Amino acid sequence: MIAIIIFAALMLIGGGFFAMNVKKIRRNILLGRDVDRTDNRSERWKVMTLVALGQQKMFKKPLPAFLHLCLYVAFVITQIELIEIFADGLSGNHRLFMSSLGGFYTFMISFIEILSILAFVATFIFLARRNLLKIPRFVKSEMNGWPKLDANLILIAEIILICFIFMMNGADEVLYNMGSTHTRGLEGEVGSFGFAVSQYVGPALFGGISEASLATIERIGWYGHIIMVFAFLNYLPFSKHFHILLAFPNTFYSNLLPKGKFTNMESVTNEVKLMLDPNADPFAAPAPAEGEVQRFGAKDVQDLTWKNLLDSYTCTECGRCTAACPANQTGKLLSPRKIMMDTRDRLDEVGKNIDKHGKDHDDGKSLLGDYISAEELWACTSCNACVEECPVNIDPLSIIVDLRRYLVMEESKAPAELANMFTNIENNGAPWQFSQADRLNWKDEA
């Protein structure tokens, strides 16, 4: 009974903290402007299935994709074993489903063990790629400090979790060989569970150990497993690994418009249409604005859309966007990954200010200027390479464009080349320094 109470307490505390943190993140995301992403649901389900579930875009690089797939499938399939652990913890049983499922149970646990071995190997390779091979996209300046530590912590935690799984299964295997087991209906029997890996690993590691010690090892593995699960669950909201959960809604709400099609502000579009309408009264008073006046472009995270903010929390910090960015490749300051990381960091800061001071608190800081510089923004060529490369359909370009829009339309700040172009368009109706009357003079030069 005490064990059931301890497990229930762990579940309530772990689940409660996770729910509280998820609620804060949802609040932060909804600080953004509204944007409609509910159209074409069939296409959205297709995109989510292919990109998030099927990891379609990961397979542009086959080896990392296969290694990631090992971790991904192991994570998904082991949730089946987690269901049994929850059932055992709340009922006081052990391997509750074994007697009723028989051979299928042995197959499923064996499958999980094989996936766990593949995940174990993949984890060590990922650690080596980050810390020994020093692949360029993992050693950019924005990856110093916490981002690097975060990636390593989760990989080390994965190794510890797998060790707990084999402690639990291996000790159970040896106990069963001795005719001593927690599993109801199998007491006194001597044999082997027949699990694919632990039937060999268990005797090799724990053979010759006393029954009492084996029971302790098994309990350490069992509780270690579930504690790691709860710890991981509550670590997710503070880590880049939150993409494990957010990849699905993020891909579902992807921008389905053709790449390169920029959004226009409705108020500006209406004004331009009015200017070009020959039937419009040029002396008529403008229609009053409906609702809150929208800022031109974005200065802070509240000026971005909720999808932009969801993107920032979904970012995996893999660096594929930055590796593909032509501006970054030529040594310019721009890194699309840093744009997403800065957006998330600023959003977290705004959320903490709300928790501490209330929603109307102004800390005197903003995303533009304090986190992202104008130099970074103007280095972007708007080529969409970052959007194309992202494995979970994040769109750094839309944030860059909105920040640049603010610089131009609110602060009248633009590089000299653009300022000259704007002047020519205003005076000559074209980007060049030729009047409309002189534009066709070249045809007479022949």
DSSP string, 187-253: TT--S----TTHHHHHHHHHTT--HHHHHHHHHHHHHHHHHHHHHHHHHGGGSGGGHHHHHHHHHHT
Helical segments of 236-335, H only: 243-252, 266-276, 306-314, 320-324, 326-329
Angstrom distance (rounded) from CA 352 to CA 359? 10
Two structure tokens written together for 442 = 């070249």
| Residue type for position 230 | F
Contacts by 127-133 with C-beta closer than 8 Å and gap 24+? 127/152, 127/155, 127/156, 129/64, 130/155
pTM, full prediction: 0.86
The whole-number pLDDT of residue 75 equals: 81
Residue written as token pair 């998330």 = 344
- pLDDT top residue among 288 and 214: 214
Say yes or no to pLDDT of 273 above 90. Answer: no
- pLDDT top residue among 375 and 98: 375
Q: What is the mean pLDDT of residues 61-80?
A: 83
The whole-number pLDDT of residue 416 equals: 81
Q: What is the mean pLDDT of residues 323-352?
A: 94
Sequence-ordered strand ranges (E) for 276-342: none
Q: What is the mean pLDDT of residues 260-268?
A: 79
- Structural domain 266-270+295-428, CATH architecture: Orthogonal Bundle (1.10)
CB 179 within 8 A of CB 205: no
Two structure tokens written together for 363 = 């800390």
Mean pLDDT of the chain: 86
Query: Of 244, 172, 200, nearest to 18 (Cα)?
Result: 244
Residue written as token pair 């002047």 = 423
Q: What is the mean pLDDT of residues 191-196?
A: 75
- Of 61-70, 144-153, 156-165, 291-300, the poorest mean pLDDT is in 291-300
Residue written as token pair 């249409």 = 273
| Residue type for position 50 | L
The whole-number pLDDT of residue 101 equals: 81
Phi, psi values for residue 305, rounded to 5° = -80, 160
- CB proximity list for 242: less than 8 A, separation 6 or greater: 25, 236, 313, 314
DSSP state letter for 305: B
Q: Within a 13 Å sphere around the CA of 227, how many CA atoms are in the beta-carbon half?
A: 9
The whole-number pLDDT of residue 4 equals: 85
In this structure, how many other beta carbons lie within 10 angstroms of the beta carbon of residue 13? Answer: 12
Which of 40-44, 139-143, 201-205, 240-244 tops mean pLDDT? 40-44
**Over pLDDT 90: what percentage of the chain?**
39
Angstrom distance (rounded) from CA 406 to CA 360? 22
